[in-house]
Each structure stands twice: as structure tokens, then as C-alpha cells.
Structure 1
């Protein structure tokens, strides 16, 4: 049955994707929100099977057929759909049978979840990082106070010891106290406000590439894919070099430890518009992707890799990624990680318009 004009006008002004299927599960109608979500026109959608939307393990077609046969509505949360352009989406969808005098049809409402899930994930990541930093600050205060007392006492004791051979023991105490103090300082990460100036992200990346190439003597292939349209932005060049260097060095060391054949790191820059990081929306954001072909990050530490002292390598300190996240956070940005065997991707998001008042 054709949709009446005033009903059609309402559907076409909804932000929720709505699709109507006929008895053969062919798309008869899709509103503009559905065309945008599925990345295809109504004409194109009506020419392909809806089975192409679902991955084989999801039994999406079975859900549609069951709903059509039983007449019972059905809802699935966080399902995976594949658009006509081939990209995957996480969505919630509801299937409702519609009864007409001429027969039965299925009305599908689809709501994209990717953006909301990403916002929730980023808020959790920022909260976890802030909590970890607060714990480290508290621990550092409790450690550095007695360390100062131990060091001072060792210096006084050294002056009173008549036997110079015993000074070796007091020097051990002093040097170990200094080593622990330096470790605590590294745990705290950058403790100064960024020295803000106009910086070019590609100049920063090229500086880091020079350092990595010098360290590896060309044994790691660096592939660049830069977007030259990304403008300069306000930031601390030295801190940003340190953040990117920590990530590339982490990738390089992981590939070397695993003995990766033909180790390669791909660096890609793009500018994204209207991106939400945590709870704040930014008009323009610089994205830097750093992708290696190493062994991947073990699942048991993936959710904790930005915590201090967490490392997948026995000889690792577990401070590089934590410091990198702190630096990017100071620039109101965020680092995300996605990994699987044979590929690990770190993605840095840096707002191109930073509010100086909120830089901390």
C-alpha cells in the first residue's frame, strides 16, 4: 500500500532511519535518513537483497522472516550492518509488522550506535586516565617525602663515618633514592603547561621519522600518507614530538621483539569535521594514524595500555604511552588504540582550535 503524502512527509523529516519491506523482503521505501545511513539511494536499495546488510553470523534475514511470519515485533541491540559502500555500522534496529488490507509489510527503524559508543568509550578512557594520574600524584607525594628524608639522613651519616670505605654504602643509598625520585618524576609525566606556538603536524611527524630512521638504521619502513590541507595549529612542538616519538618507538620495539618480517609503520594524517572527543565537540580535528604490522597487543592489557607501568614487553617501562596520552590530553585531544594480530593502530585526535583557558 502506498504511503500517504502527509505520512511520507513526516517520515522524510525524521532523523531515525526508516525502511519499509514488502512481502518478498524487498525495500519498498527508505526515508532520507536511511539512504544516508546505508549509503545508497532508494532505487539502489530496492535492487539488492537485504541479506547483504547482515553478516552471516547475525541471522538478520531469519529475524525478518520470523517477524513477518509470526507478526511479532523484534528488536536487536548493537547489531552489525554493512552499507552498500561496504563500511560496517553498529546499530540498534526494531522490526515491526504493518498490517494493511492488502497484506503485511515490515517496518524497520534503524538507529546508528557507532557515534554514541565512541563518545562513551572516549569518556571512559579520559576518566580512567584522569583517575590513574590522580592516583600517581598521590603515590608520588607519599614516596618523595620519605625519600628526601632517607637521602638527607644518608648524607649526614656519610659525614660522620670515619672510615672512607663505608662511604660506598651511603653512596648506594643516595643514588638509589635519586633513582626512585627520577622514576616518580617520569610517572608524573609532563608537569609544565605547554609552550604554545604555531606548529605544523607534518613538520613534527618528519622530525620523529628522522629520529626513528636514525635509531633503526632503515630496518623499519616508514610510509607517509599526509593531507597537505591540514592547517597549522597552536601547540607545544617539543611535547608533541615526544608523544609521537613514544608511540612510534613503542611500535618499533614491539616489531623488533616479535621478529616481524619486513616491519612497516604507516603514518596517515587527515582533517575531520565536527568530531566529539569525550563530551566536547570540536569543529575541526587533526587525525594522525600510526599503524604497524607487528604482533598486536595482548587482549589482557589492551584496556590498560595507557596506565603507567603497564607494558607488553619484559624490558619495557610502561611509561611511554601514558606520557603520550597525557601530552595529547594537555592539547585537549585523545589517543585511541585498535589492534589485532598483524596490525596495531594508534589514532591521535588533536583539535585544530584549542581553547587556551582549558589547557592544563
Structure 2
């Protein structure tokens, strides 16, 4: 058994290639075999550049080898037996059993773009949380004063005077106070439970349909093999509710010849990266609508609390993103006319009890 076999590299989603000083292939893992279209047995001992055409050459790799430096080639274009691929390549010189090798780690450009997008969403969520919490604190104190003044006014009014208007003030102050309390949720999730994700989706869908009178066509594309999730059910159901309500609002007022449609889809992903963290298994929940779509000018900042739809306060999507990120997950969005998809990703955790 070779020294490379002992490294358990075949379990990695990253394509790994080892070269010797002469740029001859010593080893490639299964992900690299799929990327390049060759098996390790086929090309072991072959010069890499006799097998592929790339926009970097052997001299580039020799420089890394001689200078003992690590480097990065961004969006390298590589033509191999598998066709033309665009990949980011991390190059390092490493020592194994007193021998020196060049280690090439290939990641698709799309993979790195997704990591950057997730990191931007995570940063956006931190800014949103800071803004929402500051706003909530600013609102909380005046609300107490408004309610107290209304209660005092009610006691001072003549007995034959209707208290209808003071009750409206008190009730609305209570409602806003409850909203502020929810905006000041603790940073950590509530107690986790083992939950079927489809039950949470169904509950959120039921609430949404009760609140919307317009007919909505619902398409369910569930993965029946989905395992239970260990999570805070109230928080994730709230996130799903916000996403489904957002989809329902997006299709309100659709023309008679085209019914508003929401598709709910679940899948399990393997070796999926959220931000910079790679997870063995991730649950993906898609909420798709056939509304007019989100304008490009709003799409990048859609999770900021100040961005609102036609009937929303602008807080729903921001709160949904915040609750999901507390679980190590993320919500991503893609939109074009007649197809907007919010994808909720949650790392799969197991209950070991």
C-alpha cells in the first residue's frame, strides 16, 4: 500500500493530485479522477502536462517546488479527458517519508464563488442583527411610556367616556412590544429537538394558506428518505413561515390565465460547504414561486431589514436568515422572472441519546 493510500484522501470532496519534482503524477484521489477523466492507475508516472492543457505550465510548478512556497492559481482553465474545466488550484510543497512532492488541490470556481457568497450573507446577517437589535432597543422604552400614558388617560377620563381609543393605543403598544421582544431573541438557539423537517414545512404552509385568500397551487417534491433534524423547531418553523409567506405575497394578484404557484422541495446533500465549513450531510429546503421575480437592484441586499416587498415590513427575510444561521445554516436566493428560489441549508445533526 502506498503512502498516499494511508492518507484517506478518497473521502474528500476536493480533488487532490500529488506530483514529483519532474511534474510526474504520483497519486490522485477519486475526486481528481472525476475532474481530469483519468484513473490513478492509468496516469501514474506520466508527466501532468502530457495529459492536460492548461493556462499555466511546468515552469510555474517548478517555481513552487524550488522556492518551497504555497501559492494559488485562480480560475485556471484546464482541458483534460473530462473536457474543459475552470478550477482554482492551491499548490503546496510537502514532505512525506523524506520525499518532497507538490500537492495540487483543485476546487471548482463555482465552489469558491459559493463560499464567497455564503460569507457575504453571513456578514450581511451580522450587520442586520446589529441594526435590528439597536432599533428594537430604541423602540422599547418609548413603547412603555406610550402604554403608561394611555392607561393613565383611561383612569382620568370620565366614566361615561368610551375607552375604545385608549384600548387601541394599549393593544397596539402591547403588539409592538411583543414584536420588539422577538427581535431581541437570544443569540443561541432554544433547546433542540429531533424533528421531521416535512412536518415543520407543513405547519408553516398551513398557516400561510389560512392567511391568503387567493388560490395558490402547491407542488410538493419531498425526499421521503430525509432523516430527522436536531434543531430548535420553533425557530426553524418561523424561518420557513417567513419564506413561504414571502412566496405567497410574491404571487398575489397573478393573472387569471396563470395561477400563482409555490413549490416546496427537500433534498439531502453530501460533503456540502456552508461558508468555510464542509459538512458531511446538509438538508436543503427550497421554496420556489412563479412570481415576477426580485429586481436585480434588490437581490444582493434582500436579507437586509430595510429591504421590503409589497406587503412586508422588510424584517421577515432578515429574521429568517438570522434564525437559520444560529443553527450553522444559511439561506440563499436565486431569482429570475417566474422563478424565485429561496434555499434553506441546515447541517444534519444526530441525536446521540
Fold in common (TM above 0.5): yes
Distance in 1 between residues matched to 2:111 and 2:309, nearest whole Å:
30
Give the secondary structure class of the aligned counterpart of 1:136.
helix
Give the secondary structure class of the aligned counterpart of 1:318.
coil
State whether structure 2 residue 240 is matched by structure 1 residue 244: yes
Alpha carbons 1:246, 1:321 under 8 Å: kept: yes
State whether structure 2 residue 279 is matched by structure 1 residue 282: yes
Question: Equivalent of 2:259, from 254, 262, 273?
Answer: 262
Q: Which residue of 1 aligns with 2:34?
A: 36
For structure 1, the 5+ residue unaligned runs are 16-31, 43-62, 65-75, 94-108
Alpha carbons 2:38, 2:81 under 8 Å: kept: no
Structure 1 residues 58-85: Cα deviation after superposition (integer angstroms, max 9, x where no partner): xxxxx98xxxxxxxxxxx9659999999
Alpha carbons 2:230, 2:351 under 8 Å: kept: no
Identify the structure with the greater helix proportion.
1
Question: Equivalent of 1:306, from 282, 303, 317?
Answer: 303
Cα 1:354–1:323, aligned 2, differ >3 Å: closer, same or farther?
farther
For structure 2, the 5+ residue unaligned runs are 1-18, 40-53, 56-72, 90-104
Q: Which residue of 2 aligns with 1:105?
A: none
Cα 1:216–1:191, aligned 2, differ >3 Å: closer, same or farther?
same
Cα 1:331–1:155, aligned 2, differ >3 Å: closer, same or farther?
same
Question: Equivalent of 2:293, from 282, 285, 296?
Answer: 296
Give the secondary structure class of the aligned counterpart of 2:252.
helix
Cα 1:249–1:180, aligned 2, differ >3 Å: closer, same or farther?
closer
How far is the alpha carbon of 1:122 from its aligned partner? 0.9
How far is the alpha carbon of 1:251 from its aligned partner? 1.1
Question: Equivalent of 1:340, from 298, 312, 336?
Answer: 336
Distance in 2 between residues matched to 1:351 and 1:163, nearest whole Å:
60
Alpha carbons 1:187, 1:308 under 8 Å: kept: no
Q: Which residue of 2 aligns with 1:228?
A: 224
Distance in 1 between residues matched to 2:82 and 2:23, nearest whole Å:
27
Question: Equivalent of 1:152, from 136, 148, 153?
Answer: 148
In the TM superposition, 1:21-60 aligns within 5 A as 36-37=34-35, 40=37
State whether structure 2 residue 24 is matched by structure 1 residue 10: yes
Distance in 2 between residues matched to 1:253 and 1:349, nearest whole Å:
22
In the TM superposition, 1:143-182 aligns within 5 A as 143-162=139-158, 165=161, 170-171=166-167, 173-182=169-178
Distance in 2 between residues matched to 1:80 and 1:306, nearest whole Å:
34
Distance in 1 between residues matched to 2:79 and 2:316, nearest whole Å:
37
TM-score, structure 1 as length reference: 0.65
The size of the alignment, in residue pairs, is 290
Structure 1 residues 270-299: Cα deviation after superposition (integer angstroms, max 9, x where no partner): 211222222333221111122222211111
Which range moves more in the overlay, 262-271 or 117-126?
A: 262-271
Alpha carbons 2:263, 2:287 under 8 Å: kept: yes
